[in-house]
Amino acid sequence: MHKRLFIPGPVEVCPEVLDRMATPMIGHRGKEAADLQARISQKLQTLMYTKNLIVLSTSSGTGLMEGAVRSFCAKRTAVFSVGAFGKRWYELCEYNEVPADLYEVPLGQATPPEQIRAALQSGRYDLVTITHNETSTGVANDLEVLAEVMAEFPEVYWAVDCVSSLGGAKIEVDRLGIDICISSSQKCLGLPPGLSLASVSERALKRAETVKHRGFYFDYVRLAKFVKEKPFQYPSTPSLAHYFALDYQLDRILAEGLEQRFARHTELAERTRAWATDHFALFADPGHLSATVTCISNTRGIDVAELNRRLGQQGYQISNGYGPLKNKTFRIAHMADCSRADLEALLLTMDDICADL
Ligand SMILES: Cc1ncc(COP(=O)(O)O)c(C=O)c1O
């Protein structure tokens, strides 16, 4: 039996979108492929509220994150982490020998703007990396507030991991001045895993041209060069199957209406939080709750694996806590094409199971 996914990626993919993955192949160097990529780019610019260049990558989001620390840091990176995926930025720096410092907060909290201001005042950094929506703790950083701090340091570039928020929460890239905004296909965009995307500012691309040893596959300068000069091509053979599905899914997203889509995510998040506080407690700081995934403190010490096993028998799957939060928390994702009815059906089933655990 297929288990309906309420895990924070991969998510349920609607059957029509899945069908598009089976579109007969086209040559990746032809006009048809370039037109396809151009269409995707334009629609992503709308979704991201940006005029910046869009690059696509046949990899999950981590690939473009790795490319970002290699391409945009000439001096030193300040990594602001609020959990496991924030730390990943730091690991990417370490493994690529990009000089970096890690700034953390206790799990469940967001990055305070003062932490960024204090670090950047040192003048040591030219790149900031940050996670918008920390999938492991259900914390959403406040990009509006952080953007104000970043504006005080125009010589510093910032890369934002929007892997688990783009398509579920409003991210106005140009207004916020985000240089590099990265996301993956398998979360709020509602596609299978395997594709990622980023918007890149022109000033960041100019800067990257001065950086040596940017790598090859995820070199943003090279990726951008193809989009601009070829035009709308990818340096290697891309996952055209994902392109077909993304092209179609972006039409669906825009047809829903962006404001409506974000409002639906907020409504689902509020409903999930209400359920969580009735039965358990919320893990994240109440002022910084994610709109796309809710992390629930296991205050009753239930057997989370058993909860998921029984949910599985009813055709559902949620997520255990991530890393050190395993069993201490569990997570319900409410992203992509999830409807209120889908969520209510899950919560009803959870009511029954939790009463018996
Ligand atoms: C916030 C966040 N950042 C980065 C990643 C890594 O993305 P990917 O698995 O697409 O490489 C994830 C994956 O769950 C994530 O949730």
pLDDT band for position 126 (cuts 50, 70, 90): very high
Confidence band (pLDDT; 50, 70, 90) for 166?
Answer: very high
Among 135, 171, 322, 325, the mutation site with the greatest number of ligand 1 atoms within 8 A of its Cβ is 135
355 C-alpha to ligand 1 centroid (Å): 33
Q: What is each CA distance from 266 to 5, 86, 184, 232, 262, in whole angstroms?
A: 19, 23, 20, 34, 6
Statement: residue 119 has pLDDT above 90: yes
| Ligand 1 atom at minimal distance to the Cα of residue 186 | 10
Q: Residue with structure tokens 């060069």? A: 225
Location of structure tokens 């990265």: 182
Q: What is the pLDDT of residues 323-333, one digit of tens each?
A: 999 999 999 99
Is the dihedral angle over the CA atoms 347, 353, 356, 357 positive or is it negative? negative
Note the pLDDT of residue 149.
98
Residue 67 alpha carbon to ligand 1 centre in Å: 14
| Model pLDDT for residues 24-72, shown as the tens digit of each residue | 999 999 999 999 999 999 999 999 999 999 999 999 999 999 999 999 9
Question: Looking up tokens 């959870």, which residue turns up?
Answer: 350
Structure confidence at residue 230 (pLDDT): 87
How confident is the prediction for the chain on average, in pLDDT?
A: 98
* β-pair partners for 331: 295, 319
What is the number of the ligand 1 atom nearest to the C-alpha of 185? 10
Q: How far is the CA of 186 from the centre of ligand 1 (A)?
A: 9
Domain boundaries, the chain: 4-10+257-355, 17-254
The separation between the first and the last C-alpha atoms of the chain, rounded to the nearest angstrom, is: 23
Gap from CA of 32 to ligand 1 centroid (Å): 30
Q: How confident is the model at residue 104 (pLDDT cuts 50, 70, 90)?
A: very high
CATH for 4-10+257-355 is: 3.90.1150.10
Helix (H) or strand (E) holding 354, with range, is helix 340-355
**Closest to 217 (Cα-Cα) out of 70, 25, 44, 38:** 70
Task: State in Å: Cα 321 to ligand 1 middle.
Answer: 15
Band the pLDDT of 134: cuts 50, 70, 90. very high
What lies within 8 Å, CB to CB, of 259 at 6+ separation is 170
For ligand 1, which residues put their CB under 6 angstroms from it? 9, 60-62, 85, 131, 133, 135, 161, 163-164, 184, 196
For residues 133-160, one letter each, b for 16 or more C-beta atoms within 10 angstroms of the residue's C-beta and e for the rest, the string is bbbbbbbbbebeebbebbeebeebbbbb
What are 260-299's pLDDT values in tens digits?
999 999 999 999 999 999 999 999 999 999 999 999 999 9
What are the φ/ψ torsions at residue 337 (nearest 5 degrees)?
Answer: -100, 15
Whether the predicted pLDDT of 162 surpasses 90:
yes
Q: Which atom of ligand 1 is nearest to the CA of 63?
A: 11
The strand ranges marked E within 179-328 are 180-184, 196-200, 281-282, 293-297, 316-317, 319-320
Ramachandran class of 318: left when φ > 0, alpha when ψ lies in -120 to 50, beta otherwise: beta
In angstroms, the CA 242 to CA 225 distance is 22
* 147 alpha carbon – ligand 1 mean position (Å): 22
Task: Pick 17-254's CATH classification: 3.40.640.10, 3.90.1150.110, 1.10.3720.10, 3.40.630.40.
Answer: 3.40.640.10
Which of 164, 180, 239 is the pocket-test mutation for ligand 1 (most atoms within 8 Å of CB)?
A: 164
Asked whether 231 and 41 are in contact (CB, 8 A), the reply is no
Q: What is the SS3 string spanning 165-184?
A: CECCECCCHHHHCCCEEEEE
User: Whose CA is closest to atom 12 on ligand 1?
Assistant: 163
Rounded Cα gap, residues 131 and 164, in angstroms:
9
17-254 matches 4-10+257-355 in CATH topology = no
**How many angstroms separate the alpha carbon of residue 61 from the centre of ligand 1?**
6
Task: Report the nearest atom of ligand 1 relative to the CA of 165.
Answer: 1
Mutational test site, ligand 1, from 131, 141, 163, max ligand atoms within 8 Å of CB: 163
Distance 233 CA to ligand 1 centre (A): 25
Angle at 230 between CA 180 and CA 53, to 5 degrees: 20
CB 335 within 8 A of CB 188: yes
> How far is the centre of ligand 1, averaged over its atoms, from the C-alpha of 298 (Å)?
23
In angstroms, the CA 239 to CA 216 distance is 18
Does position 208 have pLDDT exceeding 90, yes or no? yes
